[in-house]
Amino acid sequence: MGELRWSDAREWMDPEFGNDAPLHDGCVVGVVPGAWRAVAGLVRAQGWGFQEPEAGGGTFHVWPAEGFMVNFFDAGDEVVFDVDTRELQGQERVDLLAAFLRELGRAFGLPVALALEGVDPLKRAYLRYEPAGDEFVFAASA
């Protein structure tokens, strides 16, 4: 089983390393028919806390753990989200992120990518979770 280590993630998430954009964009790599309903089903199956999105879509606020919120966005058949890295400082908190990425990747059977705010995670992810090998893969250093 792959591990996500704070020592590896720190340069991308720690404000001391110049991370002045704490919201990071993520996505499941691939189109998932009925994505919005599939995400809602995953959230309920995992027992994660959530706030119902407004009628017709919008933002779906999910708490996979106390003090760790993920915002999913209604994007048709794509699964897109963001996380706030200020909530993910240190190994214990990065373990929460790893568990979330792992559950998301396994649920859809697809890689999950994470990129800095405003960067397309499909094109320039700094981190990918690969469910086939249960591993976390970082891009070259920032």
Mean pLDDT, the chain cut into blocks of 10 residues (142 residues total): 86 82 94 89 96 81 97 92 96 97 96 94 95 92 48
Please tell me the predicted confidence (pLDDT) of residue 124: 94
Please tell me the predicted confidence (pLDDT) of residue 140: 66
Please return the burial class of 117, using the count of CB atoms within 10 Å of its CB with bins 0-12, 13-18 and 19+.
Answer: middle
Give me the phi and psi of 138, to 5 degrees please: -95, 145
Contact indicator for 72, 54 with CB cutoff of 8 Å? no
Please tell me the predicted confidence (pLDDT) of residue 18: 72
Please tell me the predicted confidence (pLDDT) of residue 110: 96
Which letter does DSSP use for residue 120 in this model? -
Please tell me the predicted confidence (pLDDT) of residue 100: 98
For residue 113, CA distances in Å to 42, 56, 129 come to: 18, 26, 6
Please tell me the predicted confidence (pLDDT) of residue 32: 87
Please tell me the predicted confidence (pLDDT) of residue 37: 87
How far is it between the farthest Cα atoms of the chain?
41
